[in-house]
């Protein structure tokens, strides 16, 4: 560890724990005069060359900004990230929480009280409800990433870290195995497919099963066999392992652990609702046999003064009015010179913010000019639609899929009216809306939309245009995430051949598709070896 303070201000005081990704230290911020936690990310995770390390640090900044949108006390704040001069280690400076990881309380010989386990799961569900609204997917939810503070509140650690380190099975190791915490991997992660909020629900099911039973969901002699079980084996019903688990909780855990993402609960709010009957009522006391020794945190306490998840997105929002598709198109309007200059200034300011990856501010700058431009020129004027398209693209780039989705839907309809349903702009917006749906877990709708756009793109520009190959790649990856492995291979194998022929095997997309096909060749869905 460095002898001098990190970045001239953060002192490492005491090592708290060590994990696969790095070590966590109790630290001290000499500038703000406060204790902090410092996670030292291992050099293998950061990268070897200065160029790769700088790309890693840039990726961290982007993910940290997205994660910062989770406004919930159950998510420890990340204060700073410092890359050392040798480009070998990244120091993540975070809020220090006094508590122990959930893994410290899981013991096969001492089952957790039902209300204790349910209270932890309910608090995690509350945190996830806020994260999934952003949306941020944890991707690596496990007992060691869930901390129980001394007052019984639960903190979910390392949001965004899996995305920063790309440990959600987007790469293969030198041995050809996927990277990740295999005991809690959802089937779509094992396959290397797209993750969604339902991926976190599967991991929460693994954690709940372990809380009640005191053991991992699946156990085997090798990581490969455990991953095979996640794809093919049925979980052991909890009541066969522990008779005092209520039947409704056993049913919930089995629902969370279904192999297909879309077969799991619709969202984490549903999970919370099904946990709620097993939580203590406000003002209630622990039931006989539910108390723990003195000094052990009581995560049920927070529910004696209700603590509920955020309301579902869209609840209480006005329904947008419909537009007559047969209405006459507005006549072109000349852009006043002053407005033209203001639009140019807005683009320049937004672009400068984009260069610094300040996505929210970049989108806000365009929002400030869109309204006056629409009043002056009309809502479907070309300049106004271009401004809205750029704003939606920035939101998509920044990971704000919930805001980008309705914008792309509206834009696709507007471009269809002004330029025709098969116009390039209408196709592009429908594809972007579908990608937002895929990121939000609406995979069936996303696949249908992408296939519809691909049919038009093939007719207009052929099968190997830039638009067509991106659509084919997205369709293949979504199929892979859904466990439709043969269908995914039928899409990805000919796509790889086309990519190698047109762009070469070293093209980024060629390599991405090759990695997906390599995972398919591992045949993790096939019979166990």
Counting Cβ atoms within 10 Å, is residue 365 exposed (0-12), middle (13-18) or buried (19+)? buried
d(CA 155, CA 195): 22
Residue 106 and residue 38 in contact, taking contact as beta carbons nearer than 8 Å: no
Please report, in angstroms and rounded to a whole number, the separation of the first and last CA atoms in the chain.
43
Kindly compute the dihedral angle of the four CA atoms of residues 224, 230, 234, 237, in this order, to the nearest 10 degrees: 110
d(CA 495, CA 477): 12
Counting Cβ atoms within 10 Å, is residue 505 exposed (0-12), middle (13-18) or buried (19+)? exposed
Of 476, 399, 461, 404, nearest to 434 (Cα)? 404
- C-alpha 54: how far from chain center: 22
d(CA 78, CA 388): 32
**Pairing mode of beta strands 99-101, 146-149:** antiparallel
Three-state secondary-structure class, residue 99: strand
Distances (CA, A) of 389 to 293, 395, 410: 58, 10, 10
Contacts of 351 (CB under 8 A, 6+ apart): 362
Kindly compute the dihedral angle of the four CA atoms of residues 123, 124, 127, 130, in this order, to the nearest 10 degrees: -110
Q: Which of 140, 298, 410, 474 is catalytic?
A: 140
- Please count the other Cβ atoms lying within 10 Å of the Cβ belonging to residue 305: 8
**140 catalytic per annotation:** yes
Dmax (CA) for the chain in angstroms is 78
d(CA 35, CA 15): 13
- Torsion 493-498-504-507 (CA) sign: negative
d(CA 252, CA 371): 47
Residue 149 and residue 97 in contact, taking contact as beta carbons nearer than 8 Å: yes
Distances (CA, A) of 316 to 319, 320, 361, 464: 9, 12, 26, 44
Q: Which two tokens stand for residue 206?
A: 């693994």
Q: Active-site residue numbers?
A: 140
């Amino acid at each position: 560890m460095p002898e001098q303070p990190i970045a001239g201000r953060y002192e490492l005081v005491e090592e708290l724990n060590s994990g696969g990704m790095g070590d966590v230290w109790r630290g001290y911020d000499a500038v703000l005069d406060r204790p902090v936690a410092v996670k030292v990310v291992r050099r293998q995770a950061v990268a070897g060359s200065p160029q790769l390390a700088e790309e890693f640090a840039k990726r961290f900044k982007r993910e940290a900004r997205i994660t910062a949108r989770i406004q919930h006390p159950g998510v420890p704040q990340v204060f700073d990230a410092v890359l050392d001069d040798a480009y070998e280690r990244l120091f993540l400076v975070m809020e220090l929480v006094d508590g122990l990881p959930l893994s410290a309380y899981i013991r096969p010989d001492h089952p957790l009280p039902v209300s204790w386990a349910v209270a932890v799961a309910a608090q995690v569900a509350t945190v996830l409800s806020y994260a999934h609204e952003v949306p941020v997917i944890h991707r690596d939810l496990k007992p060691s990433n869930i901390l129980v503070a001394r007052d019984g509140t639960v903190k979910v650690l390392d949001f965004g870290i899996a995305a920063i380190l790309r440990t959600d099975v987007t790469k293969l190791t030198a041995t050809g195995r996927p990277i990740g915490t295999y005991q809690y991997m959802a089937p779509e992660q094992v396959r290397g497919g797209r993750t969604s909020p339902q991926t976190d629900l599967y991991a929460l099911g693994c954690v709940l099963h372990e809380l009640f039973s005191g053991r991992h969901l699946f156990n085997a002699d090798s990581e490969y066999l455990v991953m095979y079980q996640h794809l093919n084996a049925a979980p052991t019903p909890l009541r066969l392992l522990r008779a005092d688990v209520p039947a409704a909780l056993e049913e919930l855990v089995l629902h969370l652990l279904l192999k297909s993402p879309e077969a799991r609960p619709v969202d984490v709010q549903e999970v919370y609702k099904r946990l709620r009957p097993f939580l203590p009522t406000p003002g209630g006391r622990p039931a006989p046999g539910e108390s723990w020794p003195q000094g052990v945190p009581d995560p049920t306490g927070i529910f004696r003064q209700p603590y509920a998840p955020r309301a579902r997105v869209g609840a209480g929002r006005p329904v947008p009015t419909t537009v007559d598709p047969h209405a006459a198109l507005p006549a072109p309007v000349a852009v006043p010179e002053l407005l033209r200059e203001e639009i140019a200034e807005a683009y320049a300011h937004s672009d400068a913010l984009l260069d610094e990856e300040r996505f929210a501010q970049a989108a806000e700058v365009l929002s400030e000019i869109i309204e006056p431009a629409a009043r002056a020129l009309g809502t479907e004027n070309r300049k106004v639609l271009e401004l809205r398209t750029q704003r939606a693209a920035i939101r998509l780039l920044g990971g704000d899929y919930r805001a980008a989705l309705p914008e792309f839907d509206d834009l696709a309809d507007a471009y269809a009216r002004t330029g025709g349903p098969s116009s390039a702009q209408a196709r592009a917006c429908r594809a972007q809306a579908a990608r937002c749906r895929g990121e939000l877990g609406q995979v069936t709708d996303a696949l249908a939309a992408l296939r519809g756009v691909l049919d038009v793109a093939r007719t207009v520009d052929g099968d190997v245009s830039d638009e067509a190959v991106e659509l084919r790649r997205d369709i293949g990856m979504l199929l892979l995430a859904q466990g439709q492995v043969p269908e995914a291979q039928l899409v990805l194998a000919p796509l790889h051949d086309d990519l190698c022929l047109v762009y070469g095997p070293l093209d980024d997309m060629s390599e991405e598709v090759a990695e997906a096909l390599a995972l398919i060749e591992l045949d993790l869905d096939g019979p166990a070896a």
